A and B are shown apart, each in its own frame.
Chain A
Amino acid sequence: MLAKIKEFLGMEAKPEELASKEEVEKVAEEKAKPRIGYVHLSGCTGDVMSLSENYDILAELLTNMVEIVYGQTLADVWEMPEMDLVLVEGSVCLQDEHSVKELMEAREKAGLVVAFGSCAATGCFTRYSRGGQQARPDHESFVPIADLVKVDCAIPGCPPSPEIIAKTVVAVINGDMDYLQPMIDLVGYTEACGCDLQYKVVNQALCIGCGTCAMSCQTRALTMTDGRPELTSARCVKCGICYTQCPRSWWPADRIKQDLGL
């Protein structure tokens, strides 16, 4: 992944230590704008809507920082071109030949594949799909894209917040690997559920009753009872955000101190 981002920024010849932040920025400035594609599988377009909610930076982003070379709703292009990075929204329906093919093609043609939003990253609410509906009763099985192709980076969220999308784009352009590391690690987190809080935090003697999980749940599936998260599983869409935001799942101390100037 690191090598790929460096390649993408035109720094492949330089050892990591030699490429200072300023240099990376300079390279990013001089380099042709990264070619970004957007592949829309079984998603709701909410993720790309969220991207567009970065009102103050959107015009700058689309005109000066990146080039959108492919994507339904974004570009009138039928043949998938070569891309530096592809944002894949939605999970894949195994019975839909076209979706599977488009994902495979995206993997071939893009330097970096990003699972964009929880459907792509964890399956999210398509985890509940079980077929039996017209007009394609056979369309039954939906999986996160990492089940079929190698994914480089995941941005979960249902949808991901406009801010995390903006922060990620900036980090990619600056080659800020430290910032992206959690998103690289999250690629492996494909079987998400609100019950992870119980399995991976409460059961592991880590919960401190802070309430961050309940705050971040996007469907209000969580409440706090006697200082512990309580899940109403019927409301849970398996987006994985609660566990992702819990301060006891992973802890980016250095980045926080840097952000706060401490």
Chain B
Amino acid sequence: MVLGTYKEVVTARSTDKEIQKIAQDGGIVSALFCYALDEKLIDGAVVAGPGKDFWKPEPMVAMSSDEILAAAGTKYTFSPNVWMLKKAVRQYGLEKLGTVAIPCQTMGIRKMQSYPFGVRFLADKIALITGIFCMENFPFTSLETLMAKMGVSPELVEKMDIGKGKFWIHTADEVLSLPLKETHGYEQSGCKVCLDYVSELSDVATGSVGSGDGWSTVFTRTDAGETIFKAAVDAGVIETKAVNEGKFGLEMLTKLATQKKEKAMKEIDRRKAMGLPVPYKGSSEKEDPLANV
């Protein structure tokens, strides 16, 4: 269960050339939201939009495809998207809301849906959570430092990516990289106890690991997620192929998810032994030490 409960896993990408050009991977997040907006399955989506500083995102309520596309691409720092959900419902008056969320954000939303203590009339307005995979995140200052280490100023950066053991930066005319060893110490510490790699509680989860360049790995998880994803595929907005089960496909994804969870479980146990709080069970308290509980 290191990959969570799911109905189907495929390799997929947006069929839209423009999305392919600007998206991080297969453009699944953008394609799904644009499709859901067009079909009125959602009337807006909270995405990590551009902010005042280059590469420092601001949560944004996107109500058109143009706004969705303006937010495409991964920013390796905080975008407190959950914060914007209430605004989207109260101030924008949206009834059917989509949102992109890294696993921990999905956890905040799902907890609010199951236990909406102070959060009135919001839980039932979340129509689509597109979850993305996440190994770790970085404070913005860390990201600035990494760019500085690589000798590039933020406004020149066109894309950032983590893969094959390196942190990559693409500019208009070069590709730079930093071994992940050198990013250690710059990660957010709260990530060290995180037991979710592949957005286990989202409706549809997507990420790059497990599929080739320009393609994404996609899990459909909930009924709602399956319905929307299938409809988008049937409409020709997203194309799919069988996921690679082998070394560079599901095997790799399983390996990384397992590594993340094992490391987090160790840290959880260590913290518990020190008497520090952590909201998860210790390994001795649960049947499956790698479950997100």
Contact = CB atoms under 8 A, between A and B. Distances in A.
Interface of A: 50, 53, 118, 155-164, 167, 182, 200, 204-212, 214-218, 224, 226-227, 239, 241, 244-257, 259-262
A207 B174 CA distance: 35
Nearest to A154: B117
B207 to A, nearest CB: 18
Contacts of A158: 118
B162 interface: no
Contact of B221 (A215, A254, A262): A262
Nearest to A250: B279
A167 B113 CA distance: 11
Contacts of B111: 212, 245, 247, 251-252, 256
A259 B137 contact: no
A218 B85 CA distance: 13
B107 A157 contact: no
Contacts of B115: 164, 167, 182, 245, 252, 255
A254 B112 contact: no
A47 to B, nearest CB: 11
A209 B221 contact: no
Contacts of B104: 208, 210, 247
Given A206-B278, A241-B117, A262-B222, A251 B201 contact: no
A178 to B, nearest CB: 11
A244 B188 CA distance: 22
A215 B85 contact: yes
Nearest to A161: B120
B114 A208 contact: no
Interface in B30-86: 59, 77-78, 80-86
27 contacts: A155-B117, A160-B118, A161-B120, A163-B116, A163-B123, A163-B124, A200-B277, A206-B190, A206-B279, A207-B190, A210-B80, A211-B105, A212-B83, A212-B105, A212-B109, A224-B78, A226-B78, A226-B141, A239-B118, A241-B119, A245-B108, A245-B119, A251-B279, A251-B280, A254-B293, A257-B201, A260-B221
Given A163-B121, A226-B139, 8 more contacts: A161-B121, A167-B116, A205-B276, A208-B188, A208-B194, A211-B82, A261-B223, A262-B222
Contacts of B188: 208-209, 227
B5 interface: yes
Interface residues of B, number: 55
Contacts of A216: 86, 112, 117-119
A249 B107 CA distance: 12
B140 interface: yes
Interface string B167-191: 0000000000000000000001111
A163 B120 contact: yes
Contact of B293 (A53, A164, A253, A259): A253
Interface of B: 4-5, 59, 77-78, 80-86, 104-105, 107-121, 123-124, 137, 139-141, 188-194, 200-201, 221-223, 276-280, 291-293
Contacts of A160: 117-118
A226 B291 CA distance: 30
Contact of B121 (A156, A162, A205, A209): A162
B72 to A, nearest CB: 20
A14 B139 CA distance: 54
A156 B118 contact: yes
A164 B192 contact: no
A118 to B, nearest CB: 8
Contact of A259 (B4, B85, B114, B280): B114
Contacts of A260: 110, 201, 221-222
A38 B289 CA distance: 44
Contacts of B278: 206
A20 to B, nearest CB: 22
B176 to A, nearest CB: 25
Nearest to B56: A226
Given A208-B104, A208-B188, A245 B80 contact: no
B191 to A, nearest CB: 7
A226 B140 contact: yes
Nearest to A244: B117
Contacts of B78: 209, 224, 226-227
Nearest to B192: A205
Contact of A241 (B108, B118, B222): B118
Contacts of A50: 120
Contacts of A246: 108
A148 to B, nearest CB: 23
Contact of A210 (B82, B124, B193, B292): B82
B197 to A, nearest CB: 14
Contacts of A259: 110, 113-114
B117 A156 contact: yes
A224 B86 CA distance: 14
B107 to A, nearest CB: 4
A162 B190 contact: no
